[in-house]
A and B are shown apart, each in its own frame.
Chain A
Amino acid sequence: QVQLQQWGAGLVKPSETLSLTCAVYGGSFTGYSWNWIRQPPGKGLEWIGEIDHSGSATYNPSLKSRLTISLDSSRSQVSLNLSSVTAADTAVYYCARAYVVAVPIIRLWGFDPWGQGTLVTVSS
């Protein structure tokens, strides 16, 4: 049973960088896409980006200029860095796994499992 456990700073100052890590327990990286999703308080879900087992990342265009997603397969960890944050980046951030169905245009099945979520507040 694959489990995802995430951690990172819960309070980040405006203009600084938000950093989160997601550890994968009990599963392989190969054949899967590793995703980050966020949810502002009281609002819906927004897909942030994904990375595959080879380290190839795809980002939401709305965040692309500030975003880096990386993978450390030796540690079974996926990381998210979002720079120059503002109050609009305040949200619960989740990591999640998806099975890659097709290439080269990557098509996925649903996101499962998910990490427990990390509330990140941007405030001075």
Chain B
Amino acid sequence: DIQMTQSPSSLAASVGDRVAITCRASQSISNYLNWYQQKPGKAPNLLIYAASSLKSGVPSRFSGSGSGTDFTLTISSLQPEDFATYYCQQTYSPPRTFGQGTKVEIK
């Protein structure tokens, strides 16, 4: 199985801050890396697919980068609605594993 490791597990930030979350795969997954946002009681919402492609309708302050084993999700200017948990996921091969999540909290 491909292991996905996110860091940090949690972070506290203020509105307007630039935030970066990293995700490392245990082997190369090319660009088959996705990022999701999940709010309490809701299903995850796809933000980024193919490492850097922004899903239609997702604000442009979200961006993704990386390939191979190292990836980053960046929020350029954190907004109040962005406080949530973020997950990376590889869809290179089954089982389609997720990272453990990064909780973004208000400082």
Contact = CB atoms under 8 A, between A and B. Distances in A.
Interface residues of B, number: 26
Contact of B44 (A45, A60, A109): A45
Contacts of B55: 110, 112
Contacts, number: 71
A58 B94 contact: yes
Interface in A1-48: 35, 44-47
B43 A44 contact: no
Interface residues of A, number: 27
A105 B93 CA distance: 7
Interface of A: 35, 44-47, 49-50, 58, 60-62, 94, 96, 98, 101, 105-112, 114-117
A27 to B, nearest CB: 15
Contacts of B48: 110
Given A46-B98, A47-B96, A50-B96, A107 B32 contact: yes
A40 to B, nearest CB: 12
Given A109-B50, A112-B46, A60 B98 contact: no
B44 A108 contact: no
B67 interface: no
